[in-house]
Amino acid sequence: PASVTEFTGSGSLQTDVGGVVQSTTVIATAGGDASLTIGQGTRALDHSGAHLGSVSVESIPPADLPGAAEPVGRAIRCGPDGATFDPAIRISFTLTSEEWERYGEGQFVVRWYNSGTDTWEPLTTTIYSETRTVTAIITHFTLVAVFAVPADEIPTTVTPPLTDPTLTFG
């Protein structure tokens, strides 16, 4: 299996001269309740198109988020701003039992903040019920948060638990 490099808060990417990631990299927030996974073979570029040397992820308090919508309580800022990924990377949030029960199983969607329109836009979201993990894929760094929504507004797929132990979160 491919090697996995893990960091907390921030970490360096092993890339070739074209910005292609050589080893799957997982970076978790300091609290361990959210993480991002950049897969091996992903082209990771900064805002100017140069290969990306390092990345960071930090938890953001819901009160500090822009826009009128209120997230479940999990929000992160990924950096550096302007970084892009091809193919998309995975962002995962592990909810507490209390959050999971309060908002209803399966009633979650991950959204990214579009500063140009001042709106939170939905991402295709996968829910792993057995681990209370909510995951989405994204092609760029921005603010990202988990929101509780009515079931008819969820662009989700419900998936069985992760079986690859190298990519299990929470």
Mean pLDDT across the chain, nearest whole number?
85
Residue 72 carries which DSSP code?
A: S
Strand pairing category for 125-128 and 133-140: antiparallel
pTM of this structure: 0.83
Amino acid at 78: C
Residue 164: predicted pLDDT: 43
Q: What's the Cα-to-Cα distance from 104 to each of 88, 95, 100, 136, rounded to whole Å?
A: 28, 12, 6, 18
| Tens-digit pLDDT profile for residues 20-34 | 999 999 999 999 999
Burial class of residue 56 in the structure, from the number of CB atoms within 10 Å of its CB (0-12 exposed, 13-18 middle, 19+ buried):
middle
**H or E stretch at 138:** strand 133-140
pLDDT tier at 157, thresholds 50, 70, 90: very low
| Tens-digit pLDDT profile for residues 83-133 | 999 999 999 999 989 888 888 655 899 999 998 999 999 999 999 989 999
